[in-house]
């Protein structure tokens, strides 16, 4: 990498961190810190959801699969589009109607404190495992680009993420997510035409790609796997406690639905665009194998991007992938503070709770760094993301989603469905192969993880409906909901605070996009050929986007 790339990375890092830190004065209460005031514009919430979900493995996990199997990676991600539609139609508005600050708060009201504590501790554990796994690809990107030891990259990035997450709260997380979305979308729109130019055009990819490179299924990634992964994604997007915040922080069920619909629309288009660079790189260098294929995406960028633009792409990839980390850190701290610590010390004053919340981000961030350091020793990021997701995803997140709609499930029934589902999936994944020497395929593993909890939940639902009596937990929950809806004075005051946060957030976004536009234009002026005109056009578009946001807030 050129010295200009390092300068651009540094400048972009300063922009992102400054945007996050600019919200240091907005997080004065639990609702403003963890729910951004409860009235976030749905477009921002949806883009934040997209980046939090997309960045978990697009460049490393799906990039590696795209390099190895081609269109398979696109087909896998298309299941997320279908899942987003289902979430937008049913699950997201149901979460918003619950009027809970966190998913844990809903579980406590609907299923009881004991069940809530069980879920909170277990989800904290699983979330920290995931977060550590997602910090690893961020460090992997820098490791491939610079040659710095991956351990040093993990430590540096982990500390940086902790700083702007602990200070900015959820608004800081969301705005940096939107900025990263704009920068990365702009950067990849530059990479794709230059990558095709590198190999001689689209026809070269169509002609010289490996056999079956354009088939939607291949080997362990079968039609059965796609079906199971689609079901898993519907539950994971709709029930993951970090993503639930994106539905509960908007102002109405209709807005929550729009969050899901925009997410689905983005996943209808983005997989094709995002997966082209590693697919094209297969023609440039067909010799990557094993964990080396995890770096295919960035290697393609290094092949075609001129000085400075590689640094911008790298900076965007790093902070976009980091958005999964800061999202989960914010969620973990919210669960710990709002749903665990406050239940033990209910009389803690607001200032004390905010101190605990920020200390929780720091502690969970340090645990995340430790987990990330262990990723290479367990087979790489692809194995962790898919295997942990198959074993825990639907069993852990599915039962609370079911409880959103069920009048007959009790706290105990939901708890036992979760425990049995996890136990059966853990047995099939780890114990059954030891006893029989027979392992499930990737598709069978994913399908079992999706179907088993559904069968357990549906079985109890049918049995309880046959008795014809509503669950006592449900009756108690509905009474509590009427009390919550009646609390209007406090909500009116918070609505004013939310509007102020929204206005401030959009101003920060507009200013940051204007600065980012200048960076693109500046880099275009020192590029040549196609890179000059493509980069200049993208820079102007980003600037117009920032200007339109500024004008809309000024007019309103």
List the domains of the chain with CATH numbers. Answer: 3-17+41-483+510-555 (1.20.1730.10)
Residue 221 bridge partners (DSSP): 218
So what's the pLDDT on residue 493? 46
The confidence score (pLDDT) of residue 454 equals: 92
pLDDT for 380 equals: 52
pLDDT at position 453 is 93
Q: What's the predicted TM-score (pTM) here?
A: 0.83
Helices marked H in 379-441 = 381-405, 411-426, 432-436
How confident is the model over 474-509, as pLDDT tens digits?
999 998 887 765 554 444 444 445 567 677 778 888
pLDDT at 253: 94
Three-state DSSP class for residue 102: coil
DSSP conformational letter for 221: B
- What is the structure's pLDDT at 182? 87
H helix intervals, 24-112: 30-35, 42-54, 63-69, 72-86, 92-97, 103-111
- Tell me the C-alpha distance between 209 and 273, whole Å: 17
What one-character DSSP code corresponds to residue 295? G
What integer pLDDT is reported at residue 33 of this predicted model? 56
Q: Mapping DSSP to helix (H, G, I), strand (E, B) and coil, where does residue 216 land?
A: coil
> What is the predicted pLDDT for the residue at 484?
67
Q: What is the pLDDT of residue 25?
A: 63
Closest CA to 16 of 463, 271, 361, 320: 320
- The reported pLDDT for the residue numbered 239 is 92
What phi and psi values does residue 28 have, to the nearest 5 degrees? -95, -10
Interatomic CA distance for residues 446 and 454, integer angstroms: 13
d(CA 72, CA 68): 9
What digits encode the pLDDT tens for the residues 45-85? 898 888 877 664 677 778 889 999 999 999 999 999 999 99
pLDDT value of position 492 = 45
Residue ranges of the chain whose pLDDT lies below 70: 23-39, 54-57, 164, 167-172, 291, 321-324, 376-390, 484-499, 501, 556
Beta partners for residue 218, in sequence order: 221
């Amino acid at each position: 990498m050129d010295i200009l790339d390092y300068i651009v990375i540094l400048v972009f890092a300063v922009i992102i961190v400054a945007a996050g830190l600019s919200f240091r004065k907005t997080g004065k209460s639990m609702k403003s810190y963890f729910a951004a005031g409860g009235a976030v514009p749905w477009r921002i919430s949806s883009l934040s959801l997209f980046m939090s979900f997309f960045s978990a493995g697009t460049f490393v996990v799906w990039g590696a699969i795209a390099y190895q199997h081609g269109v398979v990676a696109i087909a896998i991600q298309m299941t997320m589009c279908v899942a987003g539609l289902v979430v937008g139609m049913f699950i997201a508005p149901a979460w918003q109607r619950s009027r809970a600050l966190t998913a844990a708060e809903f579980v406590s009201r609907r299923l009881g404190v004991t069940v809530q504590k069980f879920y909170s501790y277990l989800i904290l554990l699983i979330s920290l495992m995931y977060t550590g796994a997602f910090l690893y690809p961020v460090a992997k990107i820098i490791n491939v680009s610079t040659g710095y030891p991956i351990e040093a990259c993990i430590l540096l990035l982990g500390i940086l993420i902790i700083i702007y997450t602990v200070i900015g709260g959820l608004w800081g997380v969301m705005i940096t997510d939107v900025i990263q979305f704009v920068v990365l979308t702009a950067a990849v729109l530059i990479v794709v035409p230059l990558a095709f130019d590198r190999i001689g055009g689209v026809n070269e990819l169509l002609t010289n790609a490996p056999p079956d490179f354009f088939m939607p299924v291949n080997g362990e990634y079968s039609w059965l796997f796609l079906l199971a992964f689609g079901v898993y994604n519907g539950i994971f997007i709709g029930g993951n406690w970090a993503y639930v915040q994106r539905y509960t922080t908007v102002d109405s069920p209709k807005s929550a639905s729009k969050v899901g619909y925009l997410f689905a629309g983005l996943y209808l288009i983005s997989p094709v665009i995002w997966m082209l660079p590693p697919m094209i790189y297969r023609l440039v260098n067909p010799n990557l194998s094993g964990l080396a294929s995890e770096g295919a995406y960035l290697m393609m960028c290094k092949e075609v991007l001129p000085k400075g633009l590689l640094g911008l792409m790298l900076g965007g990839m790093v902070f976009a992938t980091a958005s999964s980390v800061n999202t989960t850190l914010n969620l973990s701290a919210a669960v710990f503070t709002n749903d665990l610590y406050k239940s033990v010390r209910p009389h803690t004053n607001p200032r004390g709770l905010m101190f605990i919340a920020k200390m929780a981000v720091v502690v969970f961030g340090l645990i995340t760094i430790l987990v990330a350091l262990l990723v290479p020793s367990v087979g790489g990021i692809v194995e962790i993301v898919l295997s942990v997701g198959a074993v825990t995803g639907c069993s852990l997140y599915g039962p609370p989603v079911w409880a959103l709609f069920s009048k007959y499930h009790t706290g105990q029934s939901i708890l036992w469905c979760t425990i049995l589902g996890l136990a059966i999936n853990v047995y099939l994944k780890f114990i059954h192969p030891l006893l029989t020497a027979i392992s499930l395929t990737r598709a069978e593993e994913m399908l079992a993880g999706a179907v088993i909890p559904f069968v357990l939940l549906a079985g109890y639902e049918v049995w309880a409906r046959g008795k014809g009596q509503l669950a006592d937990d449900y009756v108690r929950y509905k009474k509590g909901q009427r009390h919550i809806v009646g609390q209007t004075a406090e909500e009116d005051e918070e609505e004013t605070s939310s509007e102020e946060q929204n206005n401030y957030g959009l101003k920060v976004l507009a200013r940051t996009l204007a600065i980012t536009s200048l960076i693109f234009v500046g880099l275009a002026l020192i590029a040549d050929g196609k890179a000059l005109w493509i980069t200049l056009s993208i820079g102007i578009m980003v600037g117009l986007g920032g200007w339109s946001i500024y004008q809309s807030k000024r007019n309103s």
